[in-house]
A and B are shown apart, each in its own frame.
Chain A
């Protein structure tokens, strides 16, 4: 399956987790996601997600001037964002456990299903 499709549903959680570890600006977040193994993540998707999480109150921003270039907008997580991340962590844990069990190679469960 296309990793981009899978990523769409959990990009919020991934971005929140990255920013929760350390404040970051847009491309910094992209880079850290890729370094973590999410190669397929698109720049624009991450920027859009940051913007949406900010609009939802999960992130706050502050501007840091850069030498000789345009300023950088840093994102940091808010208490609302932490709550959201916690909820998404729990949701993901449950979902991944369910799906792992479901798509596991043939076991007794599927054999019973076939015999019924």
Chain B
């Protein structure tokens, strides 16, 4: 080459070499940016050499060019790795977030407050994961909450591990750190459903599968959705019967009474609304059953509330809605006082037969 001889390089050659050196020093920039920046530089340099002769240090020249063009200093552009790995992106996001929080006193105050709540999160994380784990393996739930003694042990154990992990302890292997991250992400995703279930369990009225929380609600007797407050029975001939005693298919006394846990939980006869007088009537025992205190003896008596004291007045015999009804058949068996004959008239058993006899006596 000519360079080894005494023949000096032409201006054009020197400009070319210098341009190449400058380009080398700017090689970290994107190619199109570099092409734009150095486009026409050769001609300028050539002219410059003709004027002055000295071009100076190509590195310094490149830095000056870079600075004046407002381009980032060498090494600031992560060119060797055009695509960042997920971990780097996460790390960059992380540092971005920490910078954002450090920017103002309000933000850093908020951050510090949240940081001091971190132990709470460690506990929550443990409970959420054990909870979901128990649900997954089919642990029985009470009101949606998987709770039992073994479950309690698990909650405590997981809380200890979670808190230790939160404090950066008990992580001898690197994969455990990854496990911790995975656990945190899972807990974040699952905390809402668990919180919703817990809130539901705490706020809704107590209902537990196998627990007893006081008297159960017993709605009494209804027909077509309407409360039955009294029962009137007529015999075959259409005569009103008094003191009839009712039992259901199991032999349990059949009554119109109900139990309302919110009204003391006592068995009581529901009040009746008198349509004519527009007054509320308190139902009471049939006079024949007052002493024995049996509710399944009908018709019940009723009493109005006193206007002065607000207490029920003395019970009175209720006027039946129908005074008498038409006979069922033309020749009804006439009940007699002789035992045995009357029993055939009733569709119930022997006891009812004797009841009829009793009724006859009162009528």
Contact = CB atoms under 8 A, between A and B. Distances in A.
* Bound together: yes
Interface of A: 11, 25-27, 30-31, 42-49, 51-52, 54-55, 63, 66, 69-73
A28 to B, nearest CB: 8
Given A27-B47, A46-B68, A70-B12, 12 more contacts: A25-B43, A26-B40, A44-B63, A48-B71, A49-B68, A51-B65, A69-B42, A69-B43, A69-B46, A70-B46, A71-B43, A73-B40
A46 B37 CA distance: 12
Contacts of B61: 43-44
A48 B48 contact: no
Nearest to B50: A27
B314 to A, nearest CB: 104
B43 A72 contact: yes
Interface in B1-52: 12, 36-37, 39-48, 51
Is chain B's binding surface mostly helix, strand, loop or mixed?
helix
B44 A43 contact: yes
B64 A45 contact: yes
Interface string B321-357: 0000000000000000000000000000000000000
Contacts of B43: 25, 27, 66, 69-72
Interface of B: 12, 36-37, 39-48, 51, 61-71
B40 A48 contact: no
A44 B26 CA distance: 13
B40 to A, nearest CB: 3
Contacts of B36: 51, 54
A73 B67 CA distance: 20
Contacts of B47: 27
B293 to A, nearest CB: 101
A30 B12 CA distance: 19
Given A43-B61, A69-B12, A48 B41 contact: no
Contact of B69 (A26, A48, A69): A48
Given A43-B61, A47-B41, A48-B69, A27 B48 contact: yes
A97 B189 CA distance: 63
A47 B44 contact: yes
10 contacts: A27-B48, A44-B62, A48-B69, A51-B68, A52-B69, A54-B36, A55-B70, A66-B43, A70-B43, A73-B40
A26 B44 contact: yes
A46 B39 CA distance: 14
A70 B69 contact: no
B64 A27 contact: no
Contacts of B12: 69-70
